[in-house]
Amino acid sequence: MLTQISIFMIAVAFAVLVFFMVRTLRSASDSLEKVTDTLQEVQKTIDELSYEVKQMLRHANDITVDVENKMKQIDPVVTTVKNLGDVLAEITAAGKQLSTTFMSKLQKTKTARTAAKERVPASPSQPPDRTFQSYDAVYGKSGKARNWLAYVDIAAGAWSRMRSR
């Protein structure tokens, strides 16, 4: 009888063990199914994102090509602006040199006039002679002023023709 009770107890213990093992395996199976579903959703999301990323890269490549073409079209304009800046810098330097020369000649003329006044004292009753001839002698003839402007125009035209070749 003791053997029968022992066998019965072993059978009951085995049945309880099998019952809990089945519950555990079912729970594990449900978890694995949920993990499988989640992985399928993740794979689907990754596929959608990879398609969108590829489209975005294609669009970025198109934009890059377009920008490169536009930069190539703008290069001559930038070069022209640079050349214009160089010409203006040279014209400014020439104008500065011309101004310096003019001022030094004016200073020499003024010094010469001052020296002439010191040598020949003017009579207080007689006003100084203000004729066109004396004005031309001090400041140069008006025709000469026009001539140097014409020379500047000719030089600028020659310079632009030389630069365009």
**pLDDT of the chain along its 165 residues, tens only?**
889 999 999 999 999 999 999 999 999 999 999 999 999 999 999 999 999 999 999 999 999 999 999 999 988 888 888 888 888 898 998 888 888 888 888 888 878 777 777 765 555 555 554 544 554 555 555 555 556 667 777 887 788 777 776
Let me know if residue 154 belongs to a domain. yes
Query: Distance between CA 23 and CA 31 in Å, rounded?
Result: 12
Domain range enclosing 71: 27-85
Phi-psi region of 140 (alpha: psi -120 to 50; beta: other; left: phi over 0): left
Q: Which two tokens stand for residue 73?
A: 């079209």
Mark which of 85, 117, 152 sits at the end of a domain.
85
Residue 12: what pLDDT? 95
Strands (E), 15-162: none
Let me know if residue 3 belongs to a domain. no
Residue 162: what pLDDT? 77
Three-state helix/strand/coil letters over 35-63: HHHHHHHHHHHHHHHHHHHHHHHHHHHHH
Q: Exposed (0-12), middle (13-18) or buried (19+): which is 156, by Cβ within 10 Å?
A: middle
Let me know if residue 2 belongs to a domain. no
Flag whether the pTM goes above 0.75.
no
Let me know if residue 158 belongs to a domain. yes
Residue 41: what pLDDT? 95
Q: How many CB atoms lie within 10 A of CB 14?
A: 10
Residue 46: what pLDDT? 93
Q: How many CB atoms lie within 10 A of CB 109?
A: 14
Let me know if residue 101 belongs to a domain. no
Let me know if residue 143 belongs to a domain. yes
Let me know if residue 22 belongs to a domain. no
Residue 102: what pLDDT? 83
List Cα–Cα distances, 3 to 6, 8, 99, in angstroms: 5, 8, 132
Q: How many CB atoms lie within 10 A of CB 161?
A: 9
Q: How many domains does the chain have?
A: 2
List Cα–Cα distances, 123 to 45, 99, 120, in angstroms: 108, 35, 9
